Structure 1
């Protein structure tokens, strides 16, 4: 992986306790939607370097790099939050193989839980920008609308992209303060079947907490999906 110095350009809240961080894009930095970077914070005197791997939510066509993360109470997240705009960080990458198949434009069914949406947002942004004819379905699970990072943008992408299908589901609406007229309940075989309806020979991509990814893999295999058509890796940035 190549190493770059990048400057923090800004940040914004994209869901409850979830923030996106925006960085300048180094000249010559090329990546595929779905790939990740290692981000090292400015080192304090005498302290060990703080590094974390994040999927990029930005798409390759954009002139910035961006990540998004739940702001948990960890030393890394506290230091990241405290950075001033303009702070210099070290970036290594890109890395990761959770990218869309290039052999042929097979339909893709993206199954995401929570902040697992990050690699898929990059894919969907790029596909919409490119007017790609690849059929894309996103099944996106969160506890509440308040927790669903980038939900409004995803709804807009689904309106703009005639080849994109979006199914968002909420699992704990009794704890929400916002209205929701979409799907509710956990991802199950029926929801996955609806997401892939009409697709010929789709590939399934999984991202989210390890427990959810394991559950989804078992669900797909029980439904007869070939293991070669299921792609996931340890989720970056959760």
Structure 2
């Protein structure tokens, strides 16, 4: 914003969106697992639950490369002193040259299972870079955390799965994929390999509301009346959405 905006220009600002929230009513305990700047939404939850004197256990799991990257360290320590139900589990993957005396290395399923009693029975929120997210979700699945107990939010852009060799058209070539029809706008076009429904809609000047473009905010929900799609991320869709044919245009 500092580089692109000029004094006097106007911007549109939207309110908070998405479903990566926790009020304390959804479960009787929670695991907040994050890496890097993914700690940011976890801090909001930890602050709120502490302010509300929520009686449940809060397992705050965090990792980063270097001790100097451990943002909110002082505030977390203060919250833990204030809230005896807040359990801090922090590991630094590259602590060399620092005075870090805690766990070292990356998060592992063995460390999680040993540190958090009855992990499989708890609600778990995960936030961090895409590669960390995929590895962590796989670990949690292996230790028995059910999909409905796992809530995620990604920091960064999720790359689509690579197309099979020879199937992706060059950007300048005519699109030869499935025909997509936007019924409310009475417009149709074939989609290119690797292109999303949202990107196609933008080519056709159709205004599908969107924000994050990584599948977490839910603003680009649209109803699919026929056909099938695959989505790399569908965290902002609930069971009712899926039953009713709602998809995320940025991921489909």
Q: Same fold (TM over 0.5)?
A: yes
CA contact (8 A) 2:31 2:124 kept: yes
Rate the CA distance shift 1:211–1:217 in 2: closer, same or farther, 3 A. same
Greater Rg over alpha carbons, structure: 2
Aligned: 1:158 with 2:60: no
Q: Which residue of 2 aligns with 1:229?
A: 149
Of residues 186, 190, 197, the one that matches 2:110 is 190
Structure 2 match to 1:180:
100
Unaligned runs of 5+ in 2: 157-211, 213-252
User: Whose strand proportion is higher, 1 or 2?
Assistant: 1
- CA distance in 2 between partners of 1:228 and 1:193 (Å): 19
Count of matched residue positions in the alignment of Structure 1 and Structure 2: 157
> Once the 2 structures are TM-superposed, how far is the Cα of residue 133 of structure 1 from its aligned partner?
0.7
Instruction: Flag the structure with more relative contact order, 1 or 2, with Cα contacts below 8 A and sequence separation at least 6.
Output: 1
2:129 is equivalent to residue 209 of structure 1: yes
Aligned residues: CA RMSD: 2.9
1:26-105 equivalent positions in 2, closer than 5 A: 43-44=5-6, 91-100=13-22, 103-105=25-27
Residue deviations 1:154-206 (CA, integer Å, cap 9, x gap): 111112111110011000112x4x30111111000122113422568211110
1:149 aligns with 2:71: yes
Aligned residues of 1:210 and 1:235 also touching (Cα < 8 A): yes
- Please report the TM-score for the alignment, with normalisation by the length of structure 1: 0.59
Contact 1:106–1:135 (8 Å) recurs in 2: yes
